[in-house]
Amino acid sequence: MKFFLLLSALGLCWAQYSPNTQQGRTSMVHLFEWRWVDIAQECERYLAPNGFGGVQISPPNENIVVNNPSRPWWERYQPISYKICTRSGNENEFRDMVTRCNNVGVRIYVDAVINHMCGEGGGAGTSSTCGSYFNAGNREFPAVPYSGWDFNDGKCKTSSGGIDSYNDAYQVRDCRLVGFLDLALEKDYVRTQIANYMNNLIDIGVAGFRLDASKHMWPGDIKAVLDKLHNLNTKWFPGGSRPFIFQEVIDLGGEAITSSEYFGNGRVTEFKYGAKLGTVIRRWNGEKMAYLKNWGEGWGFMPSDRALVFVDNHDNQRGHGAGGSSILTFWDARLYKMAVGFMLAHPYGFTRVMSSYRWPRYFVNGQDVNDWIGPPNNNGVIKEVTNY
Ligand code: AAO
């Protein structure tokens, strides 16, 4: 009995930090912009036999359709509703993917965009992936529904309404990140809409969430949403299992907000990992692999059991987000393989491998002007992943 109590206490403590993977599976792969039908096949054909723990998928909820530029990858970070309806597939295809992946022991983690809706300049109409009407100017998203009351417009104190300084935690959390309509997560109504969305996904069988733009939400507001979440579906998970949570917080030091503020809610992305590993493997700043002896906390990283780590992510492989020029990507194939191999072999953090697509890079004044290009497609429809 005592032993059982100890085990369940340990289980509870571990809760949202555990990826809910099968025994011995220590890594997930981000299948960036893949379709659900392709992911289902990939789980069965490749990921399960090769020991992958799970897949991070692109946001599954309805988003704005951007035509200028033409269907950029980043349109998926501008929600219109919580209907499961995107270029990756519809709700039936999503359910089939989750079922088939879980059946072969591969977990699905959803990229949850809950900090905001579309940009302030998103216009009005039905230019959305499921055709839901919205009016960004009036803050109307009837397919949720959200209205003017549900946004932080009155709370932000900058004259632009946007984040002018990352040194002010209030601005970062209450103002608009590059113009996105910022949801008022302090409101129980908003928390409930978000929790309903996430609970729908949990009931379908997902194992956890990446919380996009967590730095731009108050840790207490995130906790209030998480407290409303169901336990995982007992068809595949032990009773009482909690969703795995990893929060996207970029903390390279020197800003008002630190990763540690979010440890209570779940794991946090450790952006120092890829930035430093890139520096070492490129042998910049006199670094060398021998110095990796005390890799991990010894390098000033967060505690291993709070960290979600990666060599590159969908942002910094194309010059978005943060990390700087040391980040290794598939464009530096040999060094990239060394970095990914090292990461997978090393015990620090829970690891995530990146699977993306090639795009025609074109640099103007050091900036890739093609950083927006979406996945391979036919007139906007994502192409089937080639079966090699
Ligand atoms: C698009 C257009 C915009 C337009 C907007 C609204 O590109 O021009 O204004 O629509 O119409 C993605 C794309 C965005 C895109 C968006 C929506 O990346 O370009 O905007 O979809 O379509 C910050 C956030 C972080 C965020 C990152 C991109 O903190 O959460 O920006 N990442 C996530 C997703 C990302 C997505 C969103 C969030 C939005 O992964 O794909 O955006 O849902 C500093 C801060 C960071 C900050 C960066 C970049 O970083 O610390 O918190 O990230 O700046 O603004 C050094 C420093 C480092 C610093 C960095 C850059 O490295 O050490 O701290 O320099 O200055």
pLDDT tens for residues 61-102?
999 999 999 999 999 999 999 999 999 999 999 999 999 999
Question: Which pLDDT band, with edges at 50, 70 and 90, does 13 fall under?
Answer: low
Q: Which residue range(s) make up the domain with 277?
A: 271-332+360-373
- pLDDT of amino acid 14: 82
Q: Answer whether residue 339 is part of any domain.
A: no
C-alpha distances in Å from residue 110, one per residue of 56, 107, 174, 206: 6, 10, 24, 7
Tell me the percentage of the chain whose pLDDT exceeds 70: 96
Q: Answer whether residue 48 is part of any domain.
A: no
Ligand 1, atom 13: closest residue by C-alpha: 74
Q: Answer whether residue 250 is part of any domain.
A: no
Q: Answer whether residue 285 is part of any domain.
A: yes
Task: Convert the pLDDT of each residue in 283-327 to its tens digit.
Answer: 999 999 999 999 999 999 999 999 999 999 999 999 999 988 999
Instruction: Ligand 1: list residues with CB < 6 Å.
Output: 74-75, 77-78, 113, 119, 121, 166, 177-180, 212-213, 215, 248, 250, 252, 255, 315, 320-322, 324
Q: Determine the Cα–Cα distance for residues 235 and 95; give it in Å rounded to an integer.
A: 13
Q: Answer whether residue 278 is part of any domain.
A: yes
Mutational test site, ligand 1, from 57, 74, 257, 312, max ligand atoms within 8 Å of CB: 74
The atom of ligand 1 lying closest to the CA of 75 is 22
User: For residue 3, is pLDDT > 70?
Assistant: no
Instruction: Classify 211 as helix, strand or coil.
Output: strand
Residues 6 or more apart whose Cβ sits within 8 Å of residue 372: 69, 72, 73, 74
- pLDDT of amino acid 324: 87
Domains: count for the chain: 1
- pLDDT of amino acid 387: 64
pTM of the entire structure? 0.97
Task: Convert the pLDDT of each residue in 199-216 to its tens digit.
Answer: 999 999 999 999 999 999
User: For residue 1, is pLDDT > 90?
Assistant: no
Q: Answer whether residue 306 is part of any domain.
A: yes
Tokens of 68: 């200028």
Please identify every residue annotated as catalytic. Answer: 212, 248
- pLDDT of amino acid 386: 79
Task: Convert the pLDDT of each residue in 231-288 to its tens digit.
Answer: 999 999 999 999 999 999 999 999 999 999 999 999 999 999 999 999 999 999 999 9
Strand partners, 107: 54
Q: Answer whether residue 231 is part of any domain.
A: no
Mean pLDDT of the chain: 96
Q: Answer whether residue 292 is part of any domain.
A: yes
- pLDDT of amino acid 323: 87
User: For residue 9, is pLDDT > 50?
Assistant: no
